[in-house]
A = this chain, B = another copy of it.
């Protein structure tokens, strides 16, 4: 890195102040950068302030606290998720496309699933996403309750699956290699169990460990969508027998 040379004070125009002011946007952008590069544990207020060349206490004038910062980061990346306008006859495929887009977003931002897993996206982009998601789900003819809950279930599924995938590659950065290592180790372990006591684990050691993340994801997606189109929950066994639409509001 070249040595920093102080700028002579006489050539420094009035405009374009060299001291870029701290703004919430700049903080959130930088936070996302650290997250992508170094993960959630590295994203401390101090590390963030250092990146912004300021003191860590200064951040609190713009973001409230760390948790709120994570809210903002989450809402920011939500802009990357594409939720299609409904087209007739392509409902199931469009739902899958939406979930795949959400998954791509998670996989392209390290540890974001850890942030999202216990957060309800109520920022502006989150609300927009909910609206568009509901629009798509209802286009499939789902009754209100199922549309309302289906969106939750799908996004929870995608988040949890991304979380599992990223937590398997814990600690250091490793792409496919370490994941394969782990799968191999686990496979060996399961195969080594006493077959008399663990017949199913021994028998299924292959399928359990050979499912890669992509296959797991597609499989889960199909299961949930199949369950949704089956109109599950029409009659539940806890007393409520009728399937009529729930009253519009509580």
Binding site for B on A (CB under 8 A): 114, 117-118, 127, 130-131, 134-135, 138, 144-150, 152-153, 156-157, 159-161, 163-164, 167, 183-184, 187, 191, 193, 197-201, 203-211, 214, 216, 218-220, 222-228, 230, 232-233, 236, 238, 246-250
Contacts and interface: CB of A to CB of B under 8 A. Distances in A.
Nearest to A93: B237
18 contacts: A117-B117, A127-B198, A127-B201, A131-B200, A135-B200, A147-B207, A183-B250, A187-B250, A218-B233, A222-B227, A222-B232, A223-B227, A223-B232, A225-B232, A226-B226, A226-B227, A226-B232, A227-B232
Nearest to A248: B206
Contacts of A148: 204, 207-208, 211
Contacts of A211: 145, 148-149
A230 to B, nearest CB: 4
Task: Work out how many copies of this chain go into the complex.
Answer: 2
Contact of A160 (B156, B218, B230, B233): B156
A149 B216 contact: yes
A90 to B, nearest CB: 13
A interface secondary structure, majority: helix
Given A148-B211, A210-B247, A219-B233, 16 more contacts: A117-B117, A117-B163, A118-B164, A144-B207, A146-B219, A148-B204, A148-B208, A149-B207, A157-B160, A206-B246, A209-B250, A210-B249, A210-B250, A222-B232, A223-B227, A223-B228
A220 B152 CA distance: 10
Given A207-B145, A248-B206, A130 B236 contact: no
Contacts of A197: 131
Contact of A236 (B193, B222, B247): B222
A153 to B, nearest CB: 5
A125 B172 CA distance: 29
A197 to B, nearest CB: 8
A218 B198 contact: no
A145 B249 contact: no
Contacts of A156: 157, 160-161, 164
Given A148-B208, A216-B152, A236-B222, A201 B130 contact: yes
